[in-house]
Amino acid sequence: MSEYDLEVENLVRDFAAFRAVDHVNFKVEKGSFFSILGPSGCGKTTLLRMIAGFLEPNAGDIRIRNESVLGVPPNLRPVNLIFQHLSLFPMMDVKENISFGLKRRKIPQSTIDKQVDSILERVGLPEYGQKKINQLSGGQKQRVAIARALVLEPSILLLDEPLGALDLKLREQMKIELKKLQQQVGTTFVYITHDQSEALVMSDQVAVMDKGAFEQIDTPKNLYAHPKTGFVANFIGENNSFDATVSSSDPFRVKINSDMEFNARAMTGLSTGAECQLYIRPESIVINPLQNEPMNKFSVTVKNVLFDGANTKLLATIGDTGQEIMAALPQDKRFDHIQPGERLNVGVYDDACTCF
Amino acid sequence: MPYAGRLTLYFFLTPVLLWLFLLIVIPHIDLFVISMQVENDDGDMVWSLLNYQAFFEEKIYWMTFVRTALYAILTTLLTFIITFPVAFYITKVLSIKYSGFFTILLLVPFWVSELVRIYGWMILLRESGVFNHFLLQLGLIDVPIEMLYNDISMVMGLVYTSMLFMVVPLISSLEGLDDSLIEAAYDLGASKPVIFAKIVIPYILPGITSGSIVVFMLTLGNYLTPNLMGGKNSLWFTEQIYNEFIASFNWNQGAAFGFLLLVLSTFIIWLGLKLTRQNLSRALS
Amino acid sequence: MKMTGIITAAALAVTSVSVSAETLKLLTWKGYAPKALVEKFEKQTGIDVEVTYSNNEEMIAKLRATRGSGFDLAQPSQDRISSVQAKYNIYQPMDYSKIKTDQIIASMLTAVKNNTNVKGKSYAAPFCYGTSGLVVNTKAAPDAKDYDALMDTNYKGRISYRLKRPTLIAMAFAKGDDPFAKYSDVDAYTELMEGVGEDLIASKHLVKNYWANGDALLELMRNGEVNVAMAWDNGGWKLHEQNPDIDFVAPTSGALGWIDTFAIPAKAKNVEGAYKWINFMLEPENAAYFTNQEKYGTASNGANEFLEPKIKANFERSFSKADIDNIKWYPPVPAKLESIEGKILDKVKAAN
Ligand SMILES: Nc1ncnc2c1ncn2[C@@H]1O[C@H](COP(=O)(O)OP(=O)(O)OP(=O)(O)O)[C@@H](O)[C@H]1O
Ligand SMILES: [Mg+2]
């Protein structure tokens, strides 16, 4: 017995000449929360629909609990899908929606009633059984959709950007609730989204997808700290990126203009003279660093303070070059004096400068 | 300000009410009044319920109505059975690029008059017609068969005439049905017949209802098709009304039949809505 | 340039409308207003003729609905005038002084005057006459001599007739009875016709269809889909020209003779035009043109010399001297009979 609920091997899917999913490989551990994160149009839905059975792959294999499900129609696969737009049945009430799948299994009505009540309880909607779908709020619809799928106790629950239609506040709240729910029921979740915060907050593992292929599969923390490709570095979290040239390989140093040189970390084999991208996260930039701290130091001219509460940022230009850089501005009164036009000394540790 | 609003409301309402009153209410009152009179032996008109009594007492009259109504119901059912797959195919299977084209194609036969369409069918079906010619040529039959002048050919003609009025509401309600609802049901373990019965049909029920009402009423009120394509036994209720007015000069009896047609067909529709737990305003919205 | 063109066209249209303001609205049978004659009349008189095709029942219903307005001239059969006029008053008395009566066969004019007399006034002038009888494909149905051929199992599926009152009357004659004699006795007439209705129902399975449109019937006979039909003599003669096997047969129990007339609706607008049309249509040359074309007999006195020889041949082929003497001319229909017949006809149609 493998401990994987889902294994995907070399999966390929073409639409005519266009390759939407390109040799994708991954395994999802039993009971884990697995996210697939990627920009719009990168092939997430296509991948998910193949797992659910609505699309046949052109090549590759999908195994659920060790059994290949190729050729098995969606109604016979032990997975359920929460659709991007939820797709609750408008002509049925909440209870009828949730019991729809159970009824197909010819379960006695009394058992169905019990199961529906208990799942409604679990998603926090007791007494909502008789409500019509159009009487529910967005978040309630969300929960009904999840209840409708979970009540069937699928091996895997597939979710296609289920929070996409909600407003920001509700989305933050549902993120946490979803994660809690998943831990409670212990069902394996495969969750797709283009919102990195959703993926990072909820997931045990995240796969970053671009142009139909997976760039990196890792824990949220590792993706953030150790991106393996430039795309991941750029896509996860915020990043300043600069065109750079390798000026020496030991110690590794890069130049972003004639008189700005950084000690940095090479993430791929880069030799002297090679062109590369230098990434510096806003939150790794230290304002007014200590004199004797070993780090890359340079001065910037403040252009603007972008106030956003805990997320407030500083937009500045490096030296006299006019190249823009963003730095996090901690809101602890220390830097309240900073005004546009002011010159600041900043520093960044060598480790926080990554090159691809 | 509210006063001015009222005024515009009346301004726009007046033509509608006038239209309703002059073209619908008054003729029906007239019809009703005529139907409540009979001619006595002196040739004078007197008030009487005899015309209505005649309908229920003369087997031939109410039997003709029953026959007409049953055939209208059958036609409605068949029209639905035939047009549903077409509507489904156009909206859910064909790509959008072609669905418009096919919808237009469905409408083309209705650019000519009903009479022309029926003569077209007669040319195809008659004993010396096109179908028989081909069947003979192919050696499938030795003597031509008469395909016209029976109830089957009549129902076929009625269905053909009615198709448009069913397919249009079906297409428009199917267009409103999001494909993902079908997929969601499929994903939740439903087989195709279950999806059809539990998702598709309930969703488009208002469309089916409005299409069915229109087809039922048009079929019930049809005169040409039963008369031309129907067989020797195809006495249609409208033909009976026509005969009372035109051949027998008995306008009073004809008016009573006309009024009964209105009342009974309304009753049948009401019954149909009750049986399927529908309500009219939803179906027509 | 374009603009002036449009204006000129519009001006022309207006003037042409005002020139031909006088119209004659004619309510008649198919074939009774041949195109060539309409054009000739329009040229002679400057009156525009508008033709509406109809049959006896519809003519009466239309005029009854409008109380005799909407048309300037109608052409009902002579037997369908007096009772309808007595009851609904839809025609106006004919002013025979305005008709060139010397153009009309005298005996026929007298007969029509008598039959359309209501309270001392007459309402019609004869236009043409003909008979109803059998149209037979003599090769396929050599023994079809009388109306009972329409109930003959030998011709199963090849029989057609109209489900209208002439069929009932013909069948009554075929039974050896005389329905015209029973016109005045409603009970006896009802009994007779109910018997006929039962006969028709019993033999219904032999009928191919009940025809409603004369052209469609001729088409069926031409294609051999129908071999015995009850129809008007001219239809049989028209088919005879194309296929000598088909001909009109005067039934042994008597062809049914009818005379179609001119009658002026009570509220006709163009009464003068109506008289002009009557006189025009009865001019020997025009009447002969009509008869040559449509093969109906004409009431016009001098038309004979303009008739094609085959018209005469038709008549002589189908009618022996005895047949002519045996023609049953429709007497005026008393009121009430129509509704009795209507119910019987409905029963026949509905029966299985
Ligand atoms: N049926 C199809 N035919 C042709 N191309 C398709 C089809 N479905 C998807 N594609 C293409 O495949 C690519 C991936 O589509 P997919 O729906 O998987 O994107 P996604 O990652 O889910 O995007 P989003 O986040 O916007 O939902 C897109 O470029 C899309 O245009
Ligand atoms: Mg998607």
DSSP, residue by residue, C73-88: EE--BGGGTHHHHHHH
- Taking the centre of ligand 1 as the mean of its atom positions, its distance from the CA of residue A18, in whole angstroms, is 10
User: Do both A157 and A207 map to the same domain?
Assistant: yes
CB contact under 8 A, B227 and C341: no
Tell me whether residue B271 is in a domain.
Answer: yes
In the sheet with A59-64, reading across from the earlier edge strand, the strands are: A18-29, A4-15, A59-64, A67-68
pLDDT for residue B3: 65
Is the residue at B258 inside a domain?
Answer: yes
CB B241 within 8 A of CB B258: yes
* pLDDT number for residue B59: 87
Cα–Cα dist A222/A205, whole Å: 10
C283, C250: one domain: no
Of B102-116, C140-154, C158-172, least confident by mean pLDDT is B102-116
Mutate to test the interface with C, among B59, B128, B227, B232 (most CBs of C within 10 A): B232
Q: Which of A14, A18, A47, A191 to mutate to test the pocket of ligand 1 (most atoms within 8 A of CB)?
A: A18
Residue A173 sits in a domain of what CATH number?
A: 3.40.50.300
Question: What was the pLDDT predicted at C33?
Answer: 95
Name the residue with higher pLDDT: C214 or A74: A74
Residue C313 sits in the same domain as residue C282: yes
Residues C232 and C157 in one domain: yes
Probe ligand 1: pick from A46, A158, A190, max atoms within 8 Å of CB?
A46
Question: Taking phi first (over 0 means left), then psi (-120 to 50 degrees means alpha), and beta for anything else, what does residue C329 get?
Answer: beta
Name residues with Cβ closer than 5 Å to ligand 2, which is an ion: A 45
For residue A195, which ligand has an atom nearest its CA? 1
User: Number of structural domains, chain A?
Assistant: 2
By C-alpha distance, which of C204, C159, C158, C211 is closest to B233? C204
With contact defined as beta carbons under 8 Å apart, do C192 and C198 qualify? no
Asked whether residue C323 is assigned to any structural domain, the reply reads: no
For ligand 1, atom 8, the nearest C-alpha belongs to A46
Of A186, A205, A233, which marks where a domain is finished?
Answer: A233
The verdict on residue B19 lying in a domain is no
Per residue in A109-135, pLDDT (tens digit) is: 999 999 999 999 988 888 899 999 999
- Higher pLDDT: C159 or A334? It is C159
Same domain, C104 and C219: no
Chain A contacts of B194, Cβ < 8 Å? 104
Q: Please indicate, yes or no, whether residues A158 and A201 belong to a single structural domain of this protein.
A: yes
pLDDT of residue C118: 94
Do A74 and B202 make contact, defined as CB atoms within 8 angstroms? no
* A184 and A277 share one domain: no
Q: For C82-124, give the DSSP string.
A: HHHHHHH--EE---GGGS-GGGB-HHHHHHHHHHTEETTEE--
Q: Please list every residue in chain B whose beta carbon sits closer than 8 Å to the beta carbon of residue A75.
A: 186-191
How many residues are listed for chain B in this entry? 285
Q: Which two tokens stand for residue C37?
A: 């004659």
Residue nearest to atom 29 of ligand 1 (CA): A41
Is there a contact between B128 and C225 if contact means CB atoms under 8 Å apart?
A: yes
Q: What are phi and psi of C157, to 5 degrees?
A: 80, 0
Taking the CA of A83 as reference, the closest ligand is: 2
Report the gap between the CA of B149 and the closest CA in chain C (Å): 7
The reply to whether B92 touches chain C by the CB within 8 Å rule is no
pLDDT at A109: 93
- The answer to whether A36 and A209 are in contact (CB under 8 A) is yes
Chain A interface includes B22 (CB < 8 A): no
pLDDT average, residue stretch A39-59: 94
Is pLDDT at C350 greater than 90 in this prediction?
A: no
Backbone angles phi, psi at C264, to 5 degrees: -100, 120
Residue B190 sits at the chain A interface (C-beta within 8 Å): yes
**CA distances to C2, C18, C47, C48 from C10, in Å:** 12, 12, 22, 20
C64, C210, C350 member nearest B63 (Cβ): C350
Residue C251 and residue C262 in one domain: no
CA–CA min distance A52, chain B (Å): 7
- Judge if C170 and C248 occupy the same domain: yes
Contact in structure between C311 and C295 (CB atoms under 8 Å):
yes
Q: Measured in angstroms, how far is the CA atom of residue C296 from the centroid of ligand 2?
A: 81
C160: exposed, middle or buried (C-beta count within 10 Å: 0-12, 13-18, 19+)? buried
* pLDDT at residue B18, rounded to an integer: 86
Answer whether A296 contacts ligand 1 (Cβ < 6 A).
Answer: no
Q: Is residue B21 part of a domain?
A: no
C50 and C196 co-located in one domain:
no
User: In this structure, are C136 and C107 located in the same domain?
Assistant: no
One domain for residues A103 and A68: yes
Shared domain check, A149 and A59: yes
CA distance A254 to B87: 65
Q: Do B189 and A87 touch (CB under 8 A)?
A: no
Q: Of C209, C339, C351, which is closest to B250 when you measure between CB atoms?
A: C339
Q: Which chains does chain A touch, 3 or more C-beta pairs < 8 A?
A: B
CB of B202 less than 8 A from some CB of A: yes
CATH of the domain at B263: 1.10.3720.10
C342 and C241 together in one domain: yes
Residue A258: pLDDT band (50, 70, 90) is confident
How confident is the model at residue B283, as a pLDDT?
Answer: 64
Q: Which domain holds residue B132?
A: 49-283
A245 and A204 in a single domain? The answer is no
Global ipTM = 0.79
Q: Does B146 contact chain A (CB < 8 Å)?
A: no
Taking a C-beta distance cutoff of 8 angstroms, is the pair C48, C74 a contact?
no
Mean pLDDT of C124-139: 95
For the residues of A278-325, what is the DSSP string, one character each?
EEE-GGGEEES--TT--SEEEEEEEEEEE-BTBT-EEEEEETTT--EE
Q: Quick one: which of B52, B56, B66 has its CA closest to B252?
A: B52
C261, C124 in Cβ contact below 8 A? Answer: yes
Query: Residue C15: which pLDDT band, with cuts at 50, 70 and 90?
Result: very low
pLDDT tens track, chain B, 285 positions: 456 667 787 888 888 888 888 888 888 898 899 999 988 777 678 898 999 998 999 888 999 999 999 999 999 999 999 999 999 999 988 888 888 888 888 888 888 888 888 888 888 888 888 888 899 999 888 888 888 888 888 999 999 989 999 999 999 999 999 999 999 999 999 999 999 999 999 999 999 999 999 999 999 999 989 988 887 888 899 999 998 888 888 889 999 999 999 999 999 999 999 988 877 776 666
Q: What is the mean pLDDT of residues C271-287?
A: 96
Q: Are strands A59-64 and A67-68 parallel, antiparallel or unpaired?
A: antiparallel
**How many independent structural domains does chain C possess?**
2
Among the partner-chain residues C207, C345, C347, the one whose CB lies closest to the CB of B232 is: C207
What CATH number is given to the structural domain containing A336?
2.40.50.140
**Which protein residue has the closest C-alpha to ligand 1 atom 30?**
A41
Separation of CA A204 and ligand 1 centre (Å)? 26
Tell me the pTM: 0.80
Per the rule left: phi > 0, alpha: psi between -120 and 50, beta: everything else, B257 is: alpha
pLDDT of the residue at C1:
37
Mean pLDDT of A86-98: 93
Claim to verify: residue C245 and residue C338 sit in the same structural domain: yes
Share of chain C above pLDDT 90, in %: 81
Residues C114 and C212 in one domain: no
Whether residue B127 lies inside any domain: the answer is: yes
User: Using CA of residue B71, residue B58, residue B270, residue B27, what is the dihedral sign?
Assistant: positive
- Interface-testing mutation among A50, A87, A151, A157, with chain B (most B C-beta atoms within 10 A): A87
Residue with tokens 């428009």: B172
Whether A146 and A225 share a structural domain = yes
C11 domain residue, yes or no:
no
On chain C, the residues whose CB falls within 8 A of the CB of B146 are: 157, 208, 225
Nearest to A91 among B180, B187, B202 (CB): B202
Domain that holds residue C295: 20-123+258-318
Q: Which domain, by its residues, includes A200?
A: 4-233
Single residue among A206, A233, A260 that ends a domain in this structure: A233
Where among A193, A215, A233 does a domain terminate?
A233
Pairing of strands A324-328, A313-318: antiparallel
The helix/strand/coil state of A70 is: coil
Nearest CA in chain A to B199: A89
Which residue on chain C is closest to B235 by alpha carbon? C350
The model's confidence at residue C6, banded by pLDDT at 50, 70 and 90, is very low
Residue A281 and residue A180 in one domain:
no
pLDDT exceeds cutoff 50 at C190? yes
B126, B247, B250 member nearest C225 (Cβ): B126
What are the Cα distances from residue B12, in Å, to B5, B8, B22?
11, 6, 16
Least confident span in A286-300, C87-101, C143-157: A286-300
pLDDT band at C18 (very low <50, low <70, confident <90, very high): very low
Average confidence score pLDDT of chain C:
90
SS3 A60: strand
With CA atoms as reference, report the closest residue to A129 among A137, A181, A121, A89. Answer: A121
* B205 inside domain: yes
Q: Which CATH number is C214's domain given?
A: 3.40.190.10
B 15-44 residues with CB < 8 A to C: 43
Place of tokens 């490709």: A229
Q: What is the pLDDT, as a whole number, of residue A115?
A: 93
Supply the residue whose CA is at minimum distance from atom 24 of ligand 1: A40
User: What confidence score (pLDDT) does residue B6 get?
Assistant: 76
| Centroid of ligand 1 to alpha carbon of A42 (angstroms) | 7
Task: Please tell me whether residues A217 and A269 are part of one structural domain.
Answer: no
Residue A19 reports pLDDT greater than 60: yes
Q: Is the pLDDT of residue C269 over 70?
A: yes
C248 and C264 in one domain? no
Identify whether C177 is part of a domain: yes
Quick: pLDDT tens for C196-246: 999 999 999 999 999 988 888 999 999 999 999 999 999 999 999 999 999
CB-ligand 1 contact for A194 (6 Å cutoff) = yes
Instruction: Inform me whether the C-beta atom of residue B50 falls under 8 Å from chain C C-beta atoms.
Output: no
Confidence at C105, pLDDT banded by 50, 70, 90 = very high
In a domain, B34, yes or no: no
